[in-house]
Each structure stands twice: as C-alpha cells, then as structure tokens.
C-alpha cells in the first residue's frame, strides 16, 4: 500500500512539474513572415506527363492550349472549362488545329487516350505536347471545376 502511495506521489509530482514547465510567462509573439509566393511554373521545363495540380496552375496562361480527346458525348457530360475538344478519332486529320507555338496539354477521362495522343503528336513533330495524368476523373477528384 505504501508503495502505491509513493508511486502516486511521484506521478503527481511529474505531472505538476510538467504543467509548471508549460506555463510560465508567455513568449513574445513570433514575427509575421510573409509566405513566399508560389513559384511560377516554367512552361519550358515541363515533363511529358503533368499532374492535375500543375495543369490547374498553368491552364490560364495564354501560352497554354488544352485539348480534350474524348468523344463529344463524354465531353458533354463534364469537361474542364474552356478546354478545346479534339476527339482522338479525328486527331490525324486535324493536326493543323494544334498550335505549334503554345504549350499543349492533352487530357481525356483517365489519362490513357491522352497518353497515346501525346505520344502520337510527339512522334509527328510536336515537342510542346504534354499528357495530363489521371484525366478528368482525377481533375474532378482534386476539386477543380468542371462544366456540363
């Protein structure tokens, strides 16, 4: 019994010392430091495959051109606002509609078709073309806006 009382006294003392150490006088407020601005994404250094966050960051740049390669019915269900529709089945006959002086981002539903189109375009002389991985599914899951 005496051992139990000693044990409880020790625990109480440790608790009391812990509380005292946490109390004390408040420290002066830390200086407010402005957060550094998010680094602007360089269009010249983009990898072939882009995540949806990167595409969201660059989509409003006037030197970026977004292409959705799904079919019209899929596009009508939901799409990224202001994206250009150029179905995969029509790419071969519409190469002249793809700007060569802009950074082009290709997207689809999941990233499969857009990856294929990106590879096709790169094999046909477009070195400014990038695939958005995850497609509209990942875009929407990330909370980015879609239109119907």
Active site residues: 108
Q: Which residue has the tokens 């360089």?
A: 42
10 in the Ramachandran plot: left (φ > 0), alpha (ψ -120 to 50) or beta? alpha
* Closest C-alpha to 85, from 96, 98, 102: 98
Which pair of tokens denotes residue 21?
């150490």
Task: Give the DSSP H or E segment for 68.
Answer: strand 64-68
CA 92, 94, 97, 99: dihedral to nearest 10 degrees?
10
* Closest C-alpha to 117, from 80, 92, 139: 92
- The contacts found for 18-26 with CB under 8 angstroms, 24 or more apart, are none
């Amino acid at each position: 019994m005496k051992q139990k009382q000693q044990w409880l006294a020790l625990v109480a003392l440790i608790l009391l010392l812990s509380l005292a150490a946490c109390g004390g006088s408040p420290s002066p407020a830390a200086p407010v430091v402005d957060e550094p601005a998010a680094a602007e994404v360089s269009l010249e250094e983009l990898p072939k495959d882009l995540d949806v966050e990167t595409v969201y960051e660059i989509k409003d740049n006037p030197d970026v051109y977004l292409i959705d390669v799904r079919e019209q019915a899929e596009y009508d269900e939901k799409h990224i606002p202001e994206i250009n529709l150029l179905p995969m089945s029509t790419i071969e006959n519409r190469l002249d509609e793809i700007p060569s002086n802009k950074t082009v981002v290709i997207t689809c539903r999941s990233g499969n078709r857009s990856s294929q189109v990106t590879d096709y375009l790169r094999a046909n002389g477009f070195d400014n073309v990038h695939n958005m991985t995850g497609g509209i599914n990942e875009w929407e899951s990330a909370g980015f806006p879609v239109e119907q």
